Chain A
Amino acid sequence: MSIRVEFLGVARQRAGIPELDVEAGNLEDACRALCERLPGLRNTCLTSSGLLPGFLASVNGRTFTRDPNSSLANGDSLIILSSDVGG
């Protein structure tokens, strides 16, 4: 499934780009793909198995998850952001 990953805040700093399309069926798949394609994210925001503490994912800007098994549908936007949203 083709997913558009968007980076906000610190995640965008680490990624160096605002967004990237990856193939992923769940959050873990997406993290694995991101580790391979954007080394700046590896071990700073995420690992190949999920998000590091301090980071959060939002699916289409409506729901939030940190669960690596959270499923993604074709065309979803996956937003990676700091878990301390607000402040």
Chain B
Amino acid sequence: MDHRTTPVPGYHGRYLRIDLSSQSVVPVPIPRAVYRRFIGGVGLGTWILLQETDGTYDALAADAPLAFVFSPLVGSPLTTSAKFAVLCKSPLTSRLNDSLASSQFALSGKKTGYDGLLIRGQAAEPTCLLIDDDGVRFESADDVWGLSPATTTSMLRNRFGRGYHFAAIGPAGENLIRYATISHDGRHAGRGGSGAVMGVKQLKAIGVAGQRRTSFADPRQLSTYSKSLSRLSMGPATAKYRELGTVTNLLTFNRLGTLPTRNFQDSTFDSATSLVPPMDDALTTRTRASCAACTIGCEHIFHSPGQPDGVRLEYESLFALGSLCGIDDFDTVLQAASMCDEFGMDTISSGSSIAFGMECAERGLLDAPDLRFGNNRALLASLKDIAFRRGLGDLLANGTRDAAKHIGGDAADFAPHVKGLEIPGYEPRALQTMALGFAVNARGADHNRSGAYQIDFSDQVDRMHIDRQAVKLAIDTEDEAAIMDSLILCKFLRGALTDRWASMSDMLKMTTGFVTDAEELTDAAQRIISAKKLFNIRQGWSPAEDTLPKRFLTSSLTSGASQGAVISQDQLQELITEYNRLRQWSPEGWIGDDLVRTWQLLDRE
């Protein structure tokens, strides 16, 4: 075997290219050096997409690549490491989309013997891919087309065996909703519309099973370290997630005046307390769950009279389907979140698109008399209309940027997105380091690829009046996220790691044998983030995209603890220019050929 492709511990040394059109597969070797440069997960997936594509292409073209990528930590006893990344060109943003999801699909997927699955082409009929030790099968999915991800998974496991774990799309993916998810075990690769990329390929589900484990570089030390990490993960740093779940953020954000409300017209919501049931609530009970191989247990599943089977709820779903739409009824939010799960739709973009529609209707830009903030029935009806592209739902199904173009007038000024990706539950005027993170991030407004809100919620900056000193701090959070998303580790572990860079170096060494330090990992982060930018430049990125909608740059907040906060265009641009300088990009954000070579972003001419 060629030394350059001899598997490194923690890896299989190859990915599998699958062509749905020709029903053919090709194993593709991954050079050893690539692993050290891109690690796995989001980093490795970005490298694969750069290798597999060249110029611009339509995100929903039949041959558009869709990558499922694993990481060196998957299969190890390290807590929270059972994760996989999904990468593609987003049909919502037309830029790079990288989503993460957890659980058994990651564990079984890696045991198929590949570090990634790269899917191209388009099936002639609804199809289920099965990948196991015997190879790849292309099975009909006619009988599950139109069904929810959960029902699909249940039926496919009954048909093909309990040993398979499935990632599946729902009706939203089939109907090419631009923010359709890929679902697995009730969790989702949620943002950016990777479910629509599966849908256009007529790929309803992927089932994985296998027995091919990788070795690890130092299994004994890995075992000892993993036990210690698990203990840390159950300590006070993660108590919030374990005891209350992320829904508790809603009351905190409301108090701090950072809670997006009524399509970002306000940053406090008068009825916030009705959206978070107390722990001893008589009508709403909750149970806890966790991802596979996770000791934190952050999932809180709420059971109410209207939702007796329970609905998993996070802050992002609660704000988007609650305060953002002016909804003050918790049971309605639970029902809405359940519908998003059933259809396979991103809750943030779903809620944002409807909230945007509500504001357009209230301003007379849309003829929709029922579409009003606080109208529970309108919220639920709109979700269904979006999933099946009925009436106004067809317009909102393409996201707020596209809808604003069609609606016209000044709608684009208050369409809440960056690069087409709807803004998550962090008011950027009141969290200005996060505002920078939203503006420059490769996949658009995103709080997982940039954790800059951590800086705003600290004593390091004045969150409503940040200056250039905050830029390096924002970059540090982005770098950290790039490595965590490549290893792949849950970000809820952050608080439990005293020296995160040292801890991540240790984990990489024990699994792969790579001896790294903070400097090398920071370089890897810079490389991964530059590689994402290079992908976007190939797809038509321009500096004008790195901004916020006009509302955030001209209208100040009018209530609560963040009253008066606004960030000006000039201020934001100064921050962006400084960001580009520190990233070693041109002042406008372009990447030169010399940097592509220096950082070894490509392995082909």
Contact with B along A30-68 (1 / 0, CB 8 A): 000000000000001000000011101010111111110
Contact with A along B209-239 (1 / 0, CB 8 A): 0000000000000000000000000001111
A79 at the interface (CB under 8 A from B): yes
Interchain CB contact under 8 A, B252 and A8: yes
CB contacts (< 8 Å) of B137 on chain A: these are: none
Binds A, one of B138-146, B176-184, B491-499: B491-499
| Assembled-state Cα–Cα distance A63/B464 (Å) | 9
**Known interface pairs A8-B255, A61-B561, A62-B561; A85-B457 also in contact (CB < 8 Å):** yes
| Assembled-state Cα–Cα distance A81/B252 (Å) | 8
B459 at the interface (CB under 8 A from A): yes
Interchain CB contact under 8 A, B426 and A10: no
Interchain CB contact under 8 A, A86 and B447: yes
**Known interface pairs A13-B244, A61-B255; A85-B453 also in contact (CB < 8 Å):** yes
CB contacts (< 8 Å) of A61 on chain B: these are: 255-257, 560-562
CB contacts (< 8 Å) of A60 on chain B: these are: 561
Q: Summarize B's interface: helix, strand, loop or mixed.
A: helix
Interchain CB contact under 8 A, A9 and B561: no
B462 at the interface (CB under 8 A from A): yes
Interchain CB contact under 8 A, B457 and A10: no
Question: For window 445-498 of chain B, which residues contact chain A by CB distance below 8 Å?
Answer: 447, 451, 453-454, 457-459, 462, 464, 491-492, 494-495
B148 to chain A, nearest CB (A): 27
Interchain CB contact under 8 A, A9 and B252: yes
Question: For window 412-465 of chain B, which residues contact chain A by CB distance below 8 Å?
Answer: 426, 447, 451, 453-454, 457-459, 462, 464
Question: For window 556-572 of chain B, which residues contact chain A by CB distance below 8 Å?
Answer: 560-562
Interchain CB contact under 8 A, A86 and B241: no
Interchain CB contact under 8 A, B561 and A87: no
Using a Cβ–Cβ cut-off of 8 Å, how many residues does chain A contribute to the interface with B?
A: 27
CB contacts (< 8 Å) of A79 on chain B: these are: 255-256
B367 to chain A, nearest CB (A): 38
A82 at the interface (CB under 8 A from B): yes
Using a Cβ–Cβ cut-off of 8 Å, how many residues does chain B contribute to the interface with A?
A: 35
Which residue of the partner chain B has the closest CB to A60?
B561
**Known interface pairs A58-B256, A84-B495, A86-B426; A10-B240 also in contact (CB < 8 Å):** yes
**Known interface pairs A53-B236, A87-B492; A63-B457 also in contact (CB < 8 Å):** no
B514 at the interface (CB under 8 A from A): no
CB contacts (< 8 Å) of B458 on chain A: these are: 56, 64, 83
Contact with B along A5-32 (1 / 0, CB 8 A): 0101110010000000000000000000
Q: Which of B237, B251, B255, B454 contacts A86 (CB 8 A)?
A: B454
| Assembled-state Cα–Cα distance A63/B459 (Å) | 7
Contact with A along B534-569 (1 / 0, CB 8 A): 000000000000000000000000001110000000
B243 at the interface (CB under 8 A from A): yes
| Assembled-state Cα–Cα distance A58/B255 (Å) | 10
CB contacts (< 8 Å) of B279 on chain A: these are: 13
| Assembled-state Cα–Cα distance A52/B236 (Å) | 9
CB contacts (< 8 Å) of B447 on chain A: these are: 86
B572 to chain A, nearest CB (A): 21
Contact with A along B238-278 (1 / 0, CB 8 A): 11110110101101100111000000000000000000000
17 contacts between A and B (CB under 8 A): A8-B252, A10-B240, A10-B248, A13-B244, A53-B236, A54-B495, A56-B457, A61-B257, A63-B459, A63-B462, A64-B458, A67-B459, A82-B239, A83-B457, A85-B256, A85-B453, A86-B451
List of 10 A-B pairs having minimum Cβ-Cβ separation, nearest first: A61-B561, A85-B457, A82-B240, A54-B236, A84-B495, A9-B248, A86-B453, A8-B252, A61-B256, A10-B239
Residues of B within 8 A of A (CB): 236-241, 243-244, 246, 248-249, 251-252, 255-257, 279, 315, 426, 447, 451, 453-454, 457-459, 462, 464, 491-492, 494-495, 560-562
